[in-house]
């Protein structure tokens, strides 16, 4: 709408409310015109606006909990909400037991069992070796009883997805999949092949990480927890590796076998 029509609309409005003002039509019009013409045209600067938007989205992700992420609260009611983590762990353990008997695709192999798993390879299903140790036991013992920064890997599907059976974070974080180089500790951008969505403290449970690149044969990969610096975007330079209170890294490694491709 242009300024003239704005003026006309307001003038019409004014005369409906106070018909006597029509007698000073010219003065009234000039006042309204002045007010409209001198309206300070202010907007946020683009930079400030985008920074604020980003800040709000990060906050929103931690504040808004999807209904699907809080089924236990719904069933237990507010009085028993404190039982939610206990129930979640119990349900998780129950869910993991059938996985062992079904022995469907291949659980991620912790590097500690690397030698034994090299013998068991099924190249048609996965480039990852199945763990020879009891995967259920491994997973169940890894689930923390108290809130902490921790996760338990599940399996890698052929379509470049790593399942995380359980993840819990104390602050917004990311799970990052990267190549583990034997000759250096520092992780470079080129090493990173998968980043989870922003993980929130309110979301305890499973997730998946999509990989951007194919897994290479005979390679060790690490999955590491990185703390978000507050901008809601993963950046290797500004988001730092999470350390637990005991200075340990919540980090797991797995490897691909020589015949895995």
Note the residues at the interface with another protein (CB under 8 A). Answer: 6, 10, 13-14, 17-18, 21, 24, 26-28, 30-36, 38-40, 42-44, 48-49, 52-53, 55-57, 59-61, 63-69
Encoded tokens for 39 = 């309206």
Nearest-approach distance from CB 205 to another protein, in angstroms: 14
- Between residues 51 and 112, which has the closer beta carbon with respect to another protein? 51
Nearest-approach distance from CB 228 to another protein, in angstroms: 13
- Element (DSSP H or E) covering residue 137: helix 135-142
Distances from the Cα of 162 to the Cα of 21, 25, 106, 176, 207, angstroms:
73, 73, 11, 11, 9
Residue 5: CA count within 13 A, CB half-sphere: 2
Nearest-approach distance from CB 9 to another protein, in angstroms: 9
Contact assessment for residue 229 and residue 239, using Cβ atoms and an 8 Å cutoff = yes
- Between residues 68 and 101, which has the closer beta carbon with respect to another protein? 68
- Between residues 35 and 261, which has the closer beta carbon with respect to another protein? 35
- Between residues 60 and 261, which has the closer beta carbon with respect to another protein? 60
- Between residues 33 and 163, which has the closer beta carbon with respect to another protein? 33
Nearest-approach distance from CB 78 to another protein, in angstroms: 14
| Separation CA 109–CA 107 (nearest Å) | 6
Nearest-approach distance from CB 230 to another protein, in angstroms: 13
Encoded tokens for 172 = 């917004």
Locate tokens 């998780």: which residue? 92
Residue 115: CA count within 13 A, CB half-sphere: 1
């Amino acid at each position: 709408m242009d300024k003239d029509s704005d003026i006309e609309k307001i003038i019409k409005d004014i005369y409906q409310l106070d018909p006597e003002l029509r007698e000073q039509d010219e003065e009234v019009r000039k006042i309204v015109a002045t007010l409209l013409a001198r309206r300070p045209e202010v907007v946020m600067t683009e930079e400030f606006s985008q920074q604020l938007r980003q800040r709000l989205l990060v906050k929103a992700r931690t504040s808004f909990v999807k209904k699907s992420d809080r089924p236990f609260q719904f069933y237990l009611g507010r009085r028993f909400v404190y039982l939610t983590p206990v129930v979640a762990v119990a349900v998780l353990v129950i869910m993991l037991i059938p996985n062992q008997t079904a022995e469907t695709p291949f659980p991620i192999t912790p590097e500690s069992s690397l030698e034994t798993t090299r013998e068991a390879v099924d190249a048609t299903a996965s480039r990852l070796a199945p763990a020879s140790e009891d995967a259920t036991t491994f997973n169940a013992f890894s689930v923390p009883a108290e809130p902490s920064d921790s996760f338990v890997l599940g399996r890698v599907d052929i379509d470049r997805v790593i399942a995380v059976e359980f993840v819990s974070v104390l602050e917004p974080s990311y799970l990052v999949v990267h190549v583990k180089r034997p000759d250096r500790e520092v992780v470079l951008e080129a090493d990173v092949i998968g980043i989870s969505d922003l993980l929130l403290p309110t979301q305890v449970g499973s997730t998946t990480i999509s990989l951007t690149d194919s897994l290479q044969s005979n390679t060790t990969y690490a999955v590491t927890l990185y703390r978000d610096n507050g901008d809601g975007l993963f950046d290797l330079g500004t988001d730092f590796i999470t350390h637990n209170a005991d200075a340990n890294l919540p980090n797991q490694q797995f490897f691909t076998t020589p015949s895995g491709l």
